[in-house]
Amino acid sequence: MEKKAIHFGGGNIGRGFVAEFLHTAGYEVVFVDVMDKIIDALQSTKSYQVTEVSDEGESTKTITNYRAINSKTHEADVIQEISTAEVVTCAVGPNILKFIAPVIAKGIDARTDPTPLAVIACENAIGATDTLHGFIKDNTAADRLNSMSERARFANSAIDRIVPAQAADAGLNVRIEKFYEWAVESGPFGERGPPKIDAIHWVGNLEPYIERKLFTVNTGHATAAYYGYQAGKKTIAEALRDESIRGIVRDVLQETAALIVDKHEISATEQQEYVETIIARISNHYLEDSVERVGRAPVRKLSRKERFIGPAAQLAERGGKFDSLLGSVEMALRFQNVEGDDESVELAQILKENSPADAAVRLTGLDRDHPLFPHVVKVVDGVQSDAKQDNRASDGYRIELSPHGIWRIPGYGAMEKWLLFFSCMT
């Protein structure tokens, strides 16, 4: 019988990465999504194309052998498919895991196959599969919990491939970078071993892989996005062509490199090479990756285990340097009321309604006695003070040099951008 994988989230990484590699590994892929447009397109086509773009040119693969189900309207079908599949993956965003858990729990509960289902969440988050597992347990009857490992095994993953938002007329086709890395824990599969998916690098200990990825690729990416946004840049590549932003990204990645080298068995030379590869990857101008996509969901990105506070907190605990990371935190806090980004509106509201310390707790989840906490409160205070000044700004303008060497008139987004441009030119 043909191998079957169920993939939640037919978006960019779902179609351009996970489904591509499941397809190559010989799986029929059943996409599950809630967006009618994506489901309709997947149901009415027999193939789509994944095109890798790089300096070496373009290379296209055709993905076939898939079906699609809308879980909003056909939950029973999804349960039935999960009950007879080998693998369940997802790439829906870390905040959506709680919504897909109930249907996965029902599908797992309905299984009779002696081989447990392999569940792998492919999100940019530390322990995303553990988080999903927790929600699945919450949706499983108490008397079925002890035997759940006979029906499903849960493995965390680190997934790396840049898939920007696609052109409006692209349909299902996806343009992506050539580079990819997919590391998944092997331990949860025990003696039976993991499923055979060649693109996956199975590892005993995922922590070095996920921390190195999140605290280099995503920390650098988000830093370029937030500084780039303030400077009026459209894409990450454009932001990184600006020497001052490129320098800031390098400074931030020096700090996270110190943590990674100190904590994991990764040499300084190896990490430096990795940093250079990442800067080259995120500078790829063929991808046209917008600063808004990479900066999306700032509340999530400012949270405790995420790309800025995660490494800065660990560096503070170890007596390391973290001021460049604080600069990225400041720029993330300034990513407010961005069109189409609900979290950027929520961020503005949180900053408006809370004291600096309360806002810092709410956004970062840091304990008040953590060594990083007073530094974050100071940054929050600065951003809030600027917002208050802006409200009074009709009386006149205040021009200041930010700690990161950027001239700005706080609150005057567009003028900040011109001043940054001007300060970079002089």
Ligand X SMILES: NC(=O)c1ccc[n+]([C@@H]2O[C@H](COP(=O)([O-])OP(=O)(O)OC[C@H]3O[C@@H](n4cnc5c(N)ncnc54)[C@H](O)[C@@H]3O)[C@@H](O)[C@H]2O)c1
Ligand Y SMILES: O=P(O)(O)OC[C@@H](O)[C@@H](O)[C@H](O)[C@H](O)CO
Q: Which does 12 bind (CB under 5 to 8 A by kind): ligand X, ligand Y, none?
A: ligand X
| Range 161-200, binding ligand X (CB under 6 A) | 161-163
Using the 8-state DSSP alphabet, how is residue 187 labeled? Answer: G
Long-range contacts, stretch 225-229, CB < 8 angstroms, 24+ apart? 225/291, 225/292, 225/294, 225/295, 226/291, 226/295, 226/298, 226/328, 226/331, 226/332, 226/334, 226/335, 227/328, 227/331, 227/404, 228/291, 229/291, 229/292, 229/295, 229/331, 229/335, 229/338
In the list 5, 7, 12, 407, the residue contacting ligand X (rule: CB under 6 A) is 12
CB of 42 or CB of 176, closer to ligand Y: 176
213 labelled catalytic: yes
Binding flag, residue 341, ligand X (CB under 6 A)? no
| Range 221-280, binding ligand Y (CB under 6 A) | 221-222
Q: Which residue's CB atom is positioned nearest to ligand X? A: 11
3-state secondary structure of 120: strand
DSSP per residue, 272-289: HHHHHHHHHHHT-TTS--
CB of 173 or CB of 218, closer to ligand Y: 218
Residue whose token pair is 């780039």: 228
Q: Is 95 within 8 Å of 56 (Cβ atoms)? A: no
The candidate with the shortest Cα–Cα distance to 109, out of 69, 78, 82, is: 82
Q: Which does 34 bind (CB under 5 to 8 A by kind): ligand Y, ligand X, none?
A: ligand X
Binding flag, residue 357, ligand X (CB under 6 A)? no
In angstroms, the CA 21 to CA 26 distance is: 9
| Range 292-321, binding ligand Y (CB under 6 A) | 294, 296-297
Q: Are strands 117-121 and 66-70 parallel, antiparallel or unpaired?
A: unpaired
Residue whose token pair is 């095109």: 51
Closest contact distance (angstroms) between CB of 388 and ligand X is: 33
Stretch that binds ligand X, among 26-34, 145-153, 316-324, 391-399 (CB under 6 A): 26-34
In the list 6, 30, 38, 350, the residue contacting ligand X (rule: CB under 6 A) is 38
Q: Which does 294 bind (CB under 5 to 8 A by kind): ligand Y, ligand X, none?
A: ligand Y
Residue type for 296, please? R
In the list 53, 94, 240, 338, the residue contacting ligand X (rule: CB under 6 A) is 94
Site string for ligand X, 250-289 (x = CB under 6 A): ----------------------------------------
Binding flag, residue 124, ligand Y (CB under 6 A)? yes
Stretch that binds ligand Y, among 74-82, 142-150, 217-225, 380-388 (CB under 6 A): 217-225
Residue type for 116, please? P
Stretch that binds ligand X, among 57-65, 87-95, 387-395, 401-409 (CB under 6 A): 87-95
Binding flag, residue 174, ligand Y (CB under 6 A)? no
CB of 132 or CB of 162, closer to ligand X: 162
Backbone angles phi, psi at 366, to 5 degrees: -75, 145
Binding flag, residue 324, ligand X (CB under 6 A)? no
Residue whose token pair is 């009386």: 395
The candidate with the shortest Cα–Cα distance to 29, out of 106, 110, 16, is: 16
Q: Which of 3, 37, 137, 213 is catalytic?
A: 213
In angstroms, the CA 214 to CA 166 distance is: 23
Binding flag, residue 111, ligand Y (CB under 6 A)? no
Q: Which residue ranges make up the site for ligand X (CB under 6 A)?
A: 8-14, 32-35, 38, 71, 91-94, 96, 99-100, 123-124, 159, 161-163
Q: Which residues are catalytic?
A: 213
